[in-house]
Amino acid sequence: MALKYDFAIIGAGVLGCAIAYQLAAAGRTVVVVDKEGIAGGASGGNLGQISLVDRTEPWHMELALESLREYKTLEEKYKFGFRQTGGCVLLSNDAQVSRAESVKSILGEYGVSSELLRKKKAQAMEPMLDVQRVKGLYYCAEEGMLEPLQVTFLFQEMASRYGVQFRSGEALLGFDMTGGVIEKARTTAGTLAADCFINCAGGWAGDVANLAGEAIPVCHHRGTAMVSQAVPRLLRTTLVGGGFLMGNAAGPRPSLHIGTALCQQENGTILMAQATEESPADSRAVSVAGITGIGANLLAYFPGFKQLDVLRVWAVSTAFSADGNPVFGKHQGLDNLFTFAGFKGAFTTAPAVARKAATLLLYGNNNLPDLAPGPERKINHVD
Protein backbone atom coordinates (compact mmCIF):
# COMPACT_ATOMS: atom_id res chain seq x y z
CA MET A 1 0.00 0.00 0.00
CA ALA A 2 1.35 3.44 -0.93
CA LEU A 3 2.60 5.60 1.94
CA LYS A 4 0.29 8.41 3.03
CA TYR A 5 1.99 11.40 4.57
CA ASP A 6 0.58 13.76 7.17
CA PHE A 7 1.69 16.74 5.08
CA ALA A 8 2.75 17.20 1.46
CA ILE A 9 4.49 20.49 0.66
CA ILE A 10 4.71 21.81 -2.89
CA GLY A 11 7.80 23.97 -3.19
CA ALA A 12 11.31 23.47 -1.80
CA GLY A 13 12.29 27.09 -1.33
CA VAL A 14 13.28 28.56 2.02
CA LEU A 15 9.70 28.70 3.29
CA GLY A 16 8.77 25.18 2.18
CA CYS A 17 11.93 23.74 3.76
CA ALA A 18 11.47 25.71 7.00
CA ILE A 19 7.82 24.64 7.36
CA ALA A 20 8.83 21.03 6.66
CA TYR A 21 11.35 21.23 9.48
CA GLN A 22 8.81 22.63 11.94
CA LEU A 23 6.20 19.98 11.12
CA ALA A 24 8.66 17.09 11.22
CA ALA A 25 10.14 18.29 14.51
CA ALA A 26 6.60 18.02 15.90
CA GLY A 27 6.54 14.34 14.94
CA ARG A 28 4.60 14.50 11.66
CA THR A 29 5.46 12.72 8.42
CA VAL A 30 6.28 15.18 5.65
CA VAL A 31 7.20 15.06 1.97
CA VAL A 32 8.38 18.05 -0.09
CA VAL A 33 8.14 17.99 -3.89
CA ASP A 34 9.60 20.51 -6.30
CA LYS A 35 9.88 20.36 -10.05
CA GLU A 36 13.33 21.97 -9.88
CA GLY A 37 14.88 21.02 -6.56
CA ILE A 38 16.00 22.66 -3.33
CA ALA A 39 16.12 26.45 -3.82
CA GLY A 40 15.35 25.98 -7.51
CA GLY A 41 13.36 29.22 -7.73
CA ALA A 42 13.67 32.63 -6.09
CA SER A 43 15.38 31.18 -2.99
CA GLY A 44 18.32 30.26 -5.20
CA GLY A 45 18.52 33.62 -6.97
CA ASN A 46 18.04 35.94 -4.02
CA LEU A 47 20.58 38.53 -2.88
CA GLY A 48 20.00 37.56 0.74
CA GLN A 49 19.37 41.04 2.14
CA ILE A 50 17.67 41.21 5.55
CA SER A 51 15.53 44.34 5.83
CA LEU A 52 13.41 45.94 8.53
CA VAL A 53 12.64 49.44 7.31
CA ASP A 54 10.07 48.27 4.75
CA ARG A 55 8.12 46.17 7.30
CA THR A 56 6.37 48.80 9.38
CA GLU A 57 3.05 46.92 9.62
CA PRO A 58 2.77 45.38 13.13
CA TRP A 59 2.37 41.81 11.85
CA HIS A 60 5.32 42.24 9.50
CA MET A 61 7.66 43.76 12.07
CA GLU A 62 6.86 40.99 14.56
CA LEU A 63 7.81 38.35 12.01
CA ALA A 64 10.99 40.15 10.99
CA LEU A 65 12.26 40.70 14.53
CA GLU A 66 11.47 37.12 15.57
CA SER A 67 13.30 35.82 12.50
CA LEU A 68 16.26 38.11 13.17
CA ARG A 69 16.61 36.61 16.64
CA GLU A 70 16.48 33.10 15.21
CA TYR A 71 19.08 33.86 12.55
CA LYS A 72 21.46 35.09 15.26
CA THR A 73 21.01 31.85 17.18
CA LEU A 74 21.38 29.66 14.08
CA GLU A 75 24.47 31.54 12.92
CA GLU A 76 26.22 30.87 16.22
CA LYS A 77 25.62 27.14 15.76
CA TYR A 78 25.82 26.56 12.01
CA LYS A 79 27.77 29.49 10.49
CA PHE A 80 25.71 30.02 7.32
CA GLY A 81 26.86 33.52 6.43
CA PHE A 82 24.48 35.75 8.39
CA ARG A 83 26.01 39.18 9.03
CA GLN A 84 24.49 42.33 10.51
CA THR A 85 26.36 44.73 8.27
CA GLY A 86 23.71 47.41 8.62
CA GLY A 87 21.52 48.51 5.76
CA CYS A 88 21.04 51.81 3.93
CA VAL A 89 18.26 53.26 1.79
CA LEU A 90 19.30 55.72 -0.92
CA LEU A 91 17.02 58.75 -0.47
CA SER A 92 16.62 60.48 -3.81
CA ASN A 93 13.91 63.07 -3.11
CA ASP A 94 12.12 64.95 -0.33
CA ALA A 95 9.19 62.51 -0.25
CA GLN A 96 11.58 59.66 0.53
CA VAL A 97 13.29 61.71 3.23
CA SER A 98 9.91 62.44 4.81
CA ARG A 99 8.96 58.77 4.70
CA ALA A 100 12.30 57.81 6.26
CA GLU A 101 11.61 60.15 9.17
CA SER A 102 8.21 58.51 9.70
CA VAL A 103 9.69 55.01 9.49
CA LYS A 104 12.39 55.98 11.99
CA SER A 105 9.68 56.83 14.51
CA ILE A 106 7.86 53.53 13.91
CA LEU A 107 11.02 51.45 14.26
CA GLY A 108 11.83 53.27 17.47
CA GLU A 109 8.61 51.94 18.97
CA TYR A 110 10.01 48.43 18.50
CA GLY A 111 13.39 49.31 19.99
CA VAL A 112 15.08 49.33 16.58
CA SER A 113 17.48 52.23 16.15
CA SER A 114 17.93 53.91 12.79
CA GLU A 115 19.40 57.18 11.56
CA LEU A 116 18.98 59.64 8.73
CA LEU A 117 22.45 60.41 7.38
CA ARG A 118 22.88 63.66 5.48
CA LYS A 119 25.55 64.01 2.84
CA LYS A 120 28.70 64.25 4.98
CA LYS A 121 27.74 61.28 7.13
CA ALA A 122 26.42 59.44 4.09
CA GLN A 123 29.81 59.80 2.39
CA ALA A 124 31.55 58.49 5.49
CA MET A 125 29.22 55.49 5.62
CA GLU A 126 29.56 54.62 1.92
CA PRO A 127 32.69 56.26 0.42
CA MET A 128 31.99 54.94 -3.10
CA LEU A 129 28.59 56.67 -3.24
CA ASP A 130 28.19 59.85 -5.29
CA VAL A 131 26.42 61.82 -2.57
CA GLN A 132 25.40 64.51 -5.06
CA ARG A 133 22.89 61.99 -6.39
CA VAL A 134 21.04 61.61 -3.08
CA LYS A 135 19.43 63.65 -0.34
CA GLY A 136 21.00 61.29 2.17
CA LEU A 137 20.97 57.72 3.46
CA TYR A 138 18.55 56.12 5.87
CA TYR A 139 20.65 53.70 7.95
CA CYS A 140 19.51 50.81 10.15
CA ALA A 141 22.27 48.95 11.99
CA GLU A 142 20.06 45.88 12.63
CA GLU A 143 19.86 44.99 8.94
CA GLY A 144 22.29 42.81 7.06
CA MET A 145 22.60 39.82 4.77
CA LEU A 146 22.88 36.06 4.63
CA GLU A 147 23.75 33.36 2.11
CA PRO A 148 20.37 32.28 0.67
CA LEU A 149 21.46 28.87 -0.58
CA GLN A 150 23.17 28.03 2.70
CA VAL A 151 20.07 29.01 4.70
CA THR A 152 17.69 27.03 2.50
CA PHE A 153 19.89 23.94 2.55
CA LEU A 154 20.29 24.32 6.32
CA PHE A 155 16.52 24.07 6.81
CA GLN A 156 16.43 21.17 4.34
CA GLU A 157 19.17 19.36 6.26
CA MET A 158 17.47 19.92 9.62
CA ALA A 159 14.17 18.68 8.17
CA SER A 160 15.86 15.60 6.71
CA ARG A 161 17.19 14.69 10.14
CA TYR A 162 13.57 14.33 11.24
CA GLY A 163 12.74 12.09 8.30
CA VAL A 164 11.34 14.58 5.77
CA GLN A 165 11.43 13.19 2.23
CA PHE A 166 12.55 15.63 -0.47
CA ARG A 167 11.63 14.73 -4.05
CA SER A 168 13.27 16.90 -6.70
CA GLY A 169 12.41 17.00 -10.38
CA GLU A 170 8.80 16.11 -9.60
CA ALA A 171 6.24 18.50 -11.07
CA LEU A 172 2.67 18.82 -9.87
CA LEU A 173 0.08 17.94 -12.52
CA GLY A 174 -3.19 18.16 -10.60
CA PHE A 175 -5.25 17.06 -7.63
CA ASP A 176 -7.81 14.29 -7.14
CA MET A 177 -10.61 15.62 -4.96
CA THR A 178 -13.72 14.29 -3.27
CA GLY A 179 -16.04 17.10 -2.28
CA GLY A 180 -13.97 19.67 -0.44
CA VAL A 181 -11.07 17.33 0.31
CA ILE A 182 -7.96 16.63 -1.74
CA GLU A 183 -7.28 12.91 -1.71
CA LYS A 184 -4.14 12.79 -3.82
CA ALA A 185 -1.82 14.94 -5.86
CA ARG A 186 -0.84 13.79 -9.33
CA THR A 187 2.78 14.42 -10.22
CA THR A 188 5.16 13.49 -13.00
CA ALA A 189 6.34 10.64 -10.75
CA GLY A 190 2.86 9.22 -10.01
CA THR A 191 0.44 10.01 -7.20
CA LEU A 192 1.04 11.42 -3.75
CA ALA A 193 -1.35 10.84 -0.84
CA ALA A 194 -1.45 13.10 2.21
CA ASP A 195 -3.85 14.33 4.85
CA CYS A 196 -2.94 17.94 4.12
CA PHE A 197 -1.40 19.75 1.14
CA ILE A 198 0.65 22.93 1.51
CA ASN A 199 1.31 25.38 -1.32
CA CYS A 200 4.71 27.03 -0.88
CA ALA A 201 5.42 27.34 -4.58
CA GLY A 202 6.41 31.03 -4.60
CA GLY A 203 6.11 32.42 -8.12
CA TRP A 204 4.16 29.29 -9.10
CA ALA A 205 1.78 29.43 -6.11
CA GLY A 206 -1.04 30.80 -8.27
CA ASP A 207 -0.61 27.94 -10.73
CA VAL A 208 -0.74 25.38 -7.91
CA ALA A 209 -3.91 26.96 -6.54
CA ASN A 210 -5.50 26.94 -10.00
CA LEU A 211 -4.92 23.19 -10.27
CA ALA A 212 -7.20 22.85 -7.24
CA GLY A 213 -9.80 25.21 -8.70
CA GLU A 214 -8.74 28.05 -6.45
CA ALA A 215 -7.64 31.63 -7.09
CA ILE A 216 -5.13 33.58 -5.03
CA PRO A 217 -3.72 37.09 -5.57
CA VAL A 218 -0.11 35.94 -5.83
CA CYS A 219 1.51 36.99 -9.08
CA HIS A 220 5.00 36.56 -10.44
CA HIS A 221 7.58 38.48 -12.38
CA ARG A 222 11.11 37.73 -13.48
CA GLY A 223 13.85 39.26 -11.36
CA THR A 224 17.33 39.77 -12.80
CA ALA A 225 20.56 40.21 -10.84
CA MET A 226 24.30 39.99 -11.43
CA VAL A 227 27.54 39.41 -9.54
CA SER A 228 30.99 40.96 -9.97
CA GLN A 229 34.45 39.53 -9.50
CA ALA A 230 35.90 39.66 -5.99
CA VAL A 231 37.32 43.07 -5.11
CA PRO A 232 38.59 44.76 -1.93
CA ARG A 233 35.88 46.07 0.39
CA LEU A 234 33.92 48.78 -1.47
CA LEU A 235 30.58 48.63 0.33
CA ARG A 236 30.03 48.73 4.09
CA THR A 237 26.30 48.02 4.19
CA THR A 238 23.54 46.53 2.11
CA LEU A 239 21.84 49.18 -0.03
CA VAL A 240 18.44 49.61 -1.65
CA GLY A 241 16.73 52.42 -3.53
CA GLY A 242 14.41 54.93 -1.92
CA GLY A 243 11.36 53.43 -3.59
CA PHE A 244 11.81 50.59 -1.11
CA LEU A 245 10.23 52.79 1.57
CA MET A 246 7.31 54.07 -0.45
CA GLY A 247 5.09 51.00 -0.63
CA ASN A 248 3.29 49.63 -3.65
CA ALA A 249 2.34 52.25 -6.20
CA ALA A 250 -1.25 52.32 -7.37
CA GLY A 251 -2.08 51.65 -10.99
CA PRO A 252 -0.69 49.21 -13.55
CA ARG A 253 2.79 47.83 -13.03
CA PRO A 254 5.39 48.63 -15.71
CA SER A 255 6.49 45.75 -17.91
CA LEU A 256 10.09 46.56 -16.90
CA HIS A 257 11.07 48.13 -13.58
CA ILE A 258 14.64 49.03 -12.67
CA GLY A 259 15.35 49.34 -8.96
CA THR A 260 18.42 49.43 -6.75
CA ALA A 261 19.74 46.65 -4.52
CA LEU A 262 23.34 45.72 -3.85
CA CYS A 263 25.62 44.22 -1.24
CA GLN A 264 29.15 42.90 -0.98
CA GLN A 265 29.71 39.34 0.17
CA GLU A 266 32.47 38.22 2.51
CA ASN A 267 34.42 36.82 -0.45
CA GLY A 268 34.50 40.29 -2.02
CA THR A 269 32.01 39.75 -4.83
CA ILE A 270 29.30 42.38 -5.23
CA LEU A 271 25.72 41.31 -5.86
CA MET A 272 23.73 43.84 -7.89
CA ALA A 273 20.05 44.11 -8.82
CA GLN A 274 17.31 44.68 -9.77
CA ALA A 275 15.31 44.45 -12.97
CA THR A 276 11.82 43.01 -12.72
CA GLU A 277 9.95 42.15 -15.91
CA GLU A 278 6.74 40.49 -16.97
CA SER A 279 7.43 36.93 -18.10
CA PRO A 280 6.17 33.35 -17.94
CA ALA A 281 6.84 31.78 -14.55
CA ASP A 282 9.34 29.30 -15.97
CA SER A 283 11.36 31.90 -17.87
CA ARG A 284 14.97 32.39 -16.79
CA ALA A 285 15.89 34.54 -19.77
CA VAL A 286 17.85 37.73 -19.17
CA SER A 287 17.06 40.74 -21.32
CA VAL A 288 19.42 43.36 -22.68
CA ALA A 289 17.09 46.05 -21.32
CA GLY A 290 17.22 44.53 -17.86
CA ILE A 291 20.99 44.12 -17.75
CA THR A 292 21.78 47.57 -19.14
CA GLY A 293 19.14 49.14 -16.89
CA ILE A 294 20.74 47.67 -13.77
CA GLY A 295 24.19 48.77 -14.88
CA ALA A 296 23.23 52.33 -15.80
CA ASN A 297 21.27 52.78 -12.57
CA LEU A 298 24.10 51.57 -10.34
CA LEU A 299 26.74 53.62 -12.15
CA ALA A 300 24.67 56.74 -11.55
CA TYR A 301 25.05 56.20 -7.79
CA PHE A 302 28.45 54.45 -7.80
CA PRO A 303 30.47 55.75 -10.77
CA GLY A 304 33.57 53.94 -9.51
CA PHE A 305 31.88 50.63 -10.29
CA LYS A 306 32.63 51.12 -13.99
CA GLN A 307 35.84 49.16 -13.37
CA LEU A 308 33.95 46.09 -12.12
CA ASP A 309 33.79 42.98 -14.27
CA VAL A 310 30.43 41.21 -14.18
CA LEU A 311 30.99 37.46 -13.96
CA ARG A 312 27.45 36.15 -14.10
CA VAL A 313 23.89 37.35 -14.71
CA TRP A 314 20.79 35.34 -13.81
CA ALA A 315 17.02 35.61 -13.61
CA VAL A 316 14.39 33.80 -11.54
CA SER A 317 10.64 33.96 -11.08
CA THR A 318 9.71 35.82 -7.90
CA ALA A 319 6.32 36.12 -6.23
CA PHE A 320 4.48 39.31 -5.30
CA SER A 321 0.99 40.55 -4.56
CA ALA A 322 -0.51 43.80 -5.77
CA ASP A 323 -1.12 45.14 -2.25
CA GLY A 324 2.06 43.73 -0.68
CA ASN A 325 0.19 41.35 1.63
CA PRO A 326 0.92 37.62 1.60
CA VAL A 327 -1.48 34.72 1.39
CA PHE A 328 -1.47 32.82 4.67
CA GLY A 329 -4.03 30.21 5.57
CA LYS A 330 -6.54 27.59 4.51
CA HIS A 331 -8.50 27.77 1.32
CA GLN A 332 -12.18 28.33 2.00
CA GLY A 333 -13.20 25.99 -0.78
CA LEU A 334 -11.07 23.05 0.37
CA ASP A 335 -10.62 21.51 3.80
CA ASN A 336 -7.02 20.41 3.44
CA LEU A 337 -5.24 22.89 1.16
CA PHE A 338 -3.19 25.71 2.68
CA THR A 339 -1.15 28.40 0.95
CA PHE A 340 1.79 30.32 2.39
CA ALA A 341 3.15 32.56 -0.34
CA GLY A 342 3.71 36.13 -1.44
CA PHE A 343 5.83 37.24 1.52
CA LYS A 344 7.96 40.19 0.45
CA GLY A 345 11.66 39.37 0.71
CA ALA A 346 10.83 36.00 2.24
CA PHE A 347 14.24 35.38 3.84
CA THR A 348 13.71 38.26 6.27
CA THR A 349 10.66 36.57 7.80
CA ALA A 350 10.92 32.88 6.83
CA PRO A 351 11.80 31.35 10.25
CA ALA A 352 8.92 33.10 12.01
CA VAL A 353 6.44 32.52 9.17
CA ALA A 354 7.33 28.82 9.20
CA ARG A 355 6.74 28.55 12.93
CA LYS A 356 3.38 30.32 12.73
CA ALA A 357 2.35 28.28 9.69
CA ALA A 358 3.17 25.07 11.56
CA THR A 359 1.14 26.25 14.55
CA LEU A 360 -1.83 26.80 12.26
CA LEU A 361 -1.40 23.44 10.55
CA LEU A 362 -0.89 21.46 13.76
CA TYR A 363 -3.28 23.18 16.15
CA GLY A 364 -5.62 25.30 14.03
CA ASN A 365 -4.37 28.52 15.59
CA ASN A 366 -4.03 31.29 13.04
CA ASN A 367 -1.61 33.48 14.95
CA LEU A 368 -0.55 35.86 12.21
CA PRO A 369 -1.96 39.04 13.79
CA ASP A 370 -3.31 42.25 12.38
CA LEU A 371 -3.23 41.35 8.69
CA ALA A 372 -6.45 43.29 8.23
CA PRO A 373 -9.03 42.32 7.13
CA GLY A 374 -7.56 38.83 7.27
CA PRO A 375 -5.77 36.58 4.83
CA GLU A 376 -8.87 34.48 4.33
CA ARG A 377 -10.33 37.15 2.04
CA LYS A 378 -7.47 36.47 -0.35
CA ILE A 379 -8.23 32.80 -0.99
CA ASN A 380 -11.31 32.18 -3.09
CA HIS A 381 -12.76 29.10 -4.71
CA VAL A 382 -13.29 29.21 -8.47
CA ASP A 383 -16.55 27.53 -9.50
How does the average pLDDT of the chain come out, rounded?
A: 92
pLDDT digits (tens, 9 = 90+) for 171-223: 999 999 998 999 999 999 999 999 999 999 999 999 999 999 999 999 999 99
Question: Each residue of 202-232: b (16+ CB within 10 Å) or e?
Answer: bbbbbbbbeebebbbbbbbbbbbbbbbeeee
Q: Mean pLDDT highest for which of 230-234, 315-319, 333-337, 343-347?
A: 230-234
For residue 378, the model assigns a pLDDT of: 41
Comparing 129 with 219, the larger pLDDT belongs to 129
Domains of the chain with CATH codes: 4-45+149-218+323-381 (3.50.50.60), 87-141+219-320 (3.30.9.10)
Within the chain, where are the H helices?
14-25, 42-45, 58-78, 94-109, 119-125, 148-161, 205-211, 288-301, 350-363
CA distance 43 to 46: 6
Closest CA to 198 of 329, 27, 321: 329
Q: How far is CA 229 from CA 94, 198, 288, 301, in A?
A: 35, 39, 20, 19
pLDDT > 70: percent of the chain: 93
Query: Could you tell me the pLDDT band of residue 374, with boundaries at 50, 70 and 90?
Result: very low
Average pLDDT over residues 301-308: 95
3-state helix, strand, coil in the chain (%, to 5): 35, 30, 35
